[in-house]
Amino acid sequence: MNSTTTQTVPATSSRQHWLSSGWRAGVLLVALIVALPVLTVFSFVFEPAGEVWRHLAATVLQDYVVNSLLLMLGVGAGTLLLGVSTAWVTTTCEFPGRRVFEWALLLPMAIPAYIIAYTYTGLLDFAGPVQTGLRELTGWGYGDYWFPQIRSLGGAVVMLSLVLYPYVYLLTRAAFLEQSVCVLEVSRTLGASPWRTFSRVALPLARPAVITGLSLALMETLADYGTVQYFGVDTFTTGIFRTWFGLGDPGAAAQLSALLMSFVFVLILLERWSRRQARYHHTTSRYRSLPRHRLRGWQLPVGVLVCLVPLLFGFLVPAGQLLAWALRTAPEMLGVEFLQLTWHSLILAGSAALIALLLGLFMAYGKRLHGNWLVQGAVRIAGMGYAVPGTVIAVGVMIPFAAFDNTLDGWMRAQFGVSTGLLLSGTLAALLFAYTVRFLAVSLQTVEAGLGKIRLSMDDAARSMGYRPGEVLRRVHMPIMRGSLLTAVLLVFVDVLKELPATLILRPFNFNTLAVRAYELASDERLADAASASLAIVLAGIIPVILLSRSIAHSRPGHA
């Protein structure tokens, strides 16, 4: 067949040829199906939209580009700063509360960006309690004092950084934990200071993990609609909706989406570039638990502050405000129906997480086994949905599904006089598919990272013992990378729990989720009423987040 397959696992028999091409075809097929929504939207690109495009270019396009870029830069800097510093401090230092911070630092992940945005708006806005209190205290009026405007580009950067830094923290910490102590000790015995060890040894070694976390955070940033819309910041996502629905021009909206995707390509290239020394594995399997550096004197408050600030502003303050609101409004909002909402959210998130895990595993392993350029490209394309706004994906799912349903229905009517109606449209299957398209990247990247750490010599050894590729995966790889698999499931679970736009558009009749309920009330500016549902999303997200943290702590080599 084709010699590129022999790079990793020598194909020795025709049966293996068949197997490998079968697996490869499977990966390509899945990638194609997953790419379908994005391709559907892209097909509008060829619709003539010259006139609208000129209008956009003359008026608002510059704002979209500049704001999106600034948002990415800001959130990039913010998540790096918060994520890497907390990961380093909790991994290498010892101070009171460290064990709590280890998992608590992940908590902001459970808060959807649009919810933290409206919570802080309620707190800090001109008419909110903080500024009103300030005015009452000082007797100032409007214009007498300066107060940062929370609903602004800067505010959006802070909000998104606070809820997205855990991606960087999570992956960076895992990378720090896996670093052989020996490497770090060598650095220290050669006379390098702790800071130098960090900047010259630990950080460069962790770079692939840092960049992966960063690219996840930035893709979420690009896809964000709720926060920027609420804050009145004009970015690509808000522009796409305005062009599509306000101007009624899907062609120009698709072209904007295409431009947005070009940002994503840059991110993907960046991520690949960071992995250019692709496969390296620690050369020794001898690990010792890291002796932590005990913080003393001035170091102690600095270390604690580094961890406390993101936790306080990313979780405690917004969750506290939500709780305060919820306590006031809960009696009206809670009831049997609320349980049903919760159940719907959990079942959707659980199912989507499993699907994403299985597909991610299938594709990542296919790439490891038979990774020619075609498969590599397919895997990349399958992960692109993560940066596409949920609404765009939802429309991209709706159109081909309905076309399929209607074509089948037409054919069945013509052939047999039977109407099959809509089989896929408006079902949970369509919704789960949309989640898969949107979040496959998360599980794919996590599984790939896990697989990448397993030496290829393991595959060879297992194969030489007569295991087939599927068995190697099941009996060798999966047990080793249990932590990564769990991480993938939990990340997608939390993401789906928070997902709003696709759920809103694609859900079946009489089917609501917590996110939908929170949004409907918040969009009507009934923030206090929205708090119960918001808090439930946060609570449902906390348990997986804690599990996640435990799995990482245990992932350290040497810890059984």
Partner 1 sequence: MSVMSLSRWILPFLSVLLLAGPAAAAEVNLYSARQENLIKPLLDRFTEQTGIEVNLVTGKADALLQRLRSEGRNSPADLLLTTDAGRLHRAREAGVLAPVESGTLSERIPARYRDPEGYWFGLSVRARPIVYVTDRVKPAELSTYEALADPKWKGRVCIRSSSNIYNQSLVASMIAHHGVEATEAWARDFVANFARPPIGGDRDQVLAAAAGQCDIAVVNTYYLGVMLNEDDPEQREAAGRVAVFWPNQEGSGDGRGTHVNVSGIGLTAAAGNRDNAVRLMEFLTSDESQAWYAQVNHEYPVRDSVPVSDTLAAWGEFKADDLDLHLLGKYNAEAVRLMDRAGWK
232 lies in the binding site for partner 1 (CB under 8 A)? yes
Is residue 213 within 8 A of residue 172, CB to CB? The reply is yes
Q: Which of 55, 188, 207, 556 binds partner 1 (CB under 8 A)?
A: 55
Nearer to partner 1, 404 or 467 (CB): 404
Nearer to partner 1, 63 or 178 (CB): 63
| Piece of the chain touching partner 1 by CB under 8 A; list 252-260, 307-315, 399-407, 530-538 | 399-407
Q: Which of 43, 132, 193, 199 binds partner 1 (CB under 8 A)?
A: 132
Nearest CA to 123 out of 263, 325, 266, 282 is that of 325
471 lies in the binding site for partner 1 (CB under 8 A)? no
- Count of Cβ atoms closer than 10 Å to residue 318 Cβ: 27
393 lies in the binding site for partner 1 (CB under 8 A)? no
Nearer to partner 1, 271 or 495 (CB): 495
Is residue 510 within 8 A of residue 337, CB to CB? The reply is no
Nearer to partner 1, 291 or 470 (CB): 470
Exposure class string for 354-372: b at 16+ Cβ within 10 A, else e: ebbbebbbbbbbbbbbbbe
Q: Which of 520, 539, 546, 557 binds partner 1 (CB under 8 A)?
A: 520
| Piece of the chain touching partner 1 by CB under 8 A; list 30-38, 240-248, 273-281, 369-377 | 240-248
x/- track of binding to partner 1 for residues 153-172 (CB under 8 A): --------------------
Nearest CA to 499 out of 351, 316, 332 is that of 351
247 lies in the binding site for partner 1 (CB under 8 A)? yes
Q: Residue 407 is encoded by which pair of tokens?
A: 């074509």
| Piece of the chain touching partner 1 by CB under 8 A; list 205-213, 281-289, 371-379, 415-423 | 415-423
Handedness of CA 279, 283, 288, 290 (dihedral sign): negative
| Piece of the chain touching partner 1 by CB under 8 A; list 6-14, 286-294, 309-317, 520-528 | 520-528
Rg of the chain taking only CA atoms, in angstroms? 25
CA trace torsion 300, 306, 308, 314 (10° rounding): 180
Q: Residue 396 is encoded by which pair of tokens?
A: 């991209």
Phi and psi at residue 490, in whole multiples of 5°?
A: -70, -40
CA–CA separation, 521 and 533 (whole Å): 9
For residue 226, give every residue at least 6 positions away whose Cβ sits within 8 Å of its Cβ, in sequence order, or none: 112, 113, 114, 117, 500, 501, 519
507 lies in the binding site for partner 1 (CB under 8 A)? yes
Nearer to partner 1, 319 or 397 (CB): 397
Element of type H or E holding 297: none
Q: Which of 354, 381, 454, 539 binds partner 1 (CB under 8 A)?
A: 354
| Piece of the chain touching partner 1 by CB under 8 A; list 23-31, 78-86, 288-296, 392-400 | 392-400
528 lies in the binding site for partner 1 (CB under 8 A)? yes
Element of type H or E holding 343: helix 336-370
116 lies in the binding site for partner 1 (CB under 8 A)? no
Nearer to partner 1, 198 or 230 (CB): 230
Nearest CA to 264 out of 395, 390, 356, 381 is that of 381
Q: Which of 246, 301, 335, 470 binds partner 1 (CB under 8 A)?
A: 246
Handedness of CA 434, 437, 440, 442 (dihedral sign): negative
438 lies in the binding site for partner 1 (CB under 8 A)? no
Using CB under 8 A as the binding rule, the residues of this chain from 177 to 216 that contact partner 1 are none
Which residue shows structure tokens 């004092």?
Answer: 145
**# residues near partner 1 by CB under 8 A:** 72
Nearer to partner 1, 13 or 332 (CB): 332
Nearest distance from C-beta of residue 108 to partner 1, angstroms: 24
251 lies in the binding site for partner 1 (CB under 8 A)? no
504 lies in the binding site for partner 1 (CB under 8 A)? yes
Residue 237's Cβ-side half-sphere holds a number of Cα atoms within 13 Å equal to 27
Q: Which of 22, 26, 133, 248 binds partner 1 (CB under 8 A)?
A: 248
Q: Which of 92, 227, 237, 238 binds partner 1 (CB under 8 A)?
A: 238
Q: Which of 192, 381, 429, 539 binds partner 1 (CB under 8 A)?
A: 429
Q: Tell me 159's DSSP state.
A: H
- Count of Cβ atoms closer than 10 Å to residue 353 Cβ: 25
Query: Any bridge partners for residue 294, and if so which?
Result: 94
Q: Which of 203, 351, 362, 556 binds partner 1 (CB under 8 A)?
A: 351
For residue 456, give every residue at least 6 positions away whose Cβ sits within 8 Å of its Cβ, in sequence order, or none: 8, 279
| Piece of the chain touching partner 1 by CB under 8 A; list 80-88, 245-253, 260-268, 314-322 | 245-253
